[in-house]
Amino acid sequence: MIRWDAHACLPLHPQASFAPIDQLHAAGVDYVSINVGMDMNPVSQIMSVMAGYRATLSAHPDRYRLVNSVADIERARVAGQMAVGFDLEGAMPLLDQPDMVALFASLGVRQIHFAYNRNNRVADGCHDVPRGLTALGRRMVEAVNTAGLLMDCAHTGRQCSLEIMAASTKPVIFSHANPLALVEHGRNITDEQIRACAATGGVVCVSGVSLFLGNDAPTAQDVARHAAYVADLVGVQHVGIGLDIGFAEAALDDTPPGEFDATYWWPPSAGYTHAIAGVRYTPPRTWRELERALQATGMSVEDATRVMGGNMMRVAQQVWPGQPV
């Protein structure tokens, strides 16, 4: 069984420690998608981060493998390595150039969504004024499909996400999102979005973030409850896990350079306290508890296996090109 965490965040700094990735691996995770940048991060910072992360991975080939295919994940598991891919949160690092998608793919980016909470020239954020997918955005969806990246709709405006899913020729995912029906928050997604995702053949990966789970001390049981809701709505084959744990290091400052207004990206009107400083996450050990918690909702062992990784493996098999990184 492959256990797949669809989104995790290290400090956006080239010297970030990979000790948290080791913690996830020790908790049973076989593959993790690590964020390398958001819309508020300039390309210069993102490239520096990617260079640092890739150097760390290369320096420890016994512990990590940067992957491009499902077969790479299987090879990593057999070798006792943690399989790693990168993800981008927002289209601004693409500089309005669809050709940038393939460049980032060549550097290890395996999934992308187009807007981080706020609108840009490509797509709408979930905490901004609805406009819909732009003409450039449609070209970007085509570029993502062509490059073999997972098209992600986390953090995206509701109507815009529906338009992205309609435009995509490949399955679409929400790498870290929760049902709005269970917790009212602008980052959570409607039943309509969940159904549209399933209609593409995609997967909604439930996050472990306190604000979106409705519990200041979130647990595996909270994650399982949200996963069970999605499974009941559209079928267990469309549910995954992206705990979205944010790992910080006090010694590293990963604030974007220049003028940076955290309240713009995480508006207090949307319930954020001191940006995301007040957010709490499920710990890495959640992965050890998740199978039992999912079964407690009524899922079978086979169902839990699909949710914890099998469904994302299926989608990646359909989307990723499988060429060497």
- Residue 239 near residue 206 (C-beta atoms within 8 A): yes
pLDDT of residue 103: 98
Q: Is the pLDDT of residue 167 over 90?
A: yes
Chain-centre distance for alpha carbon 291: 20
Any domain includes 324: no
Domain of residue 297, residue span: 4-319
Mean per-residue pLDDT, 305-318 = 98
Beta-bridged to residue 204, according to DSSP, are: 174, 239
Provide the 10 A C-beta neighbour count for residue 29. Answer: 23
> Which residue intervals of 257-310 are DSSP H helices?
262-265, 286-296, 301-305
Q: What is the CATH number of the domain that holds 78?
A: 3.20.20.140
Residue 325 lies in a domain: no
Token pair for 304 = 């839990």
CB under 8 Å to 248, separation ≥6 — which residues?
Answer: 11
* pLDDT for residue 325 is more than 70: no
Contact partners, residue 185, CB within 8 Å, separation at least 6: 178, 211, 212, 270, 271
Average pLDDT value for residue range 48-64: 98
323 pLDDT tier (thresholds 50, 70, 90): low
For 126-152, what is each residue's pLDDT tens digit? 999 999 999 999 999 999 999 999 999
The pLDDT value recorded for residue 318 is 97
Checking if the pLDDT of 257 tops 70, the result is yes
Q: How many domains are contained in the chain?
A: 1
Q: For residues 51 and 264, give the distance between their C-alpha atoms in angstroms, rounded to a whole number.
A: 28
The mean pLDDT value for 70-81 works out to 97
The pLDDT tens digits of the residues spanning 200-229 come to 999 999 999 999 999 999 999 999 999 999
> What pTM was computed for the model?
0.97
Evaluate whether residue 46 is within a structural domain: yes
Asked, for residue 43, whether it belongs to a domain, the answer is yes
> Residue 214, SS3?
coil
Q: According to the model, what pLDDT value does residue 249 have?
A: 95
Q: Check residue 274 and give its pLDDT.
A: 81
The answer as to whether 40 is a domain residue is yes
Mean of per-residue pLDDT scores for the chain: 97
pLDDT score, position 275: 83
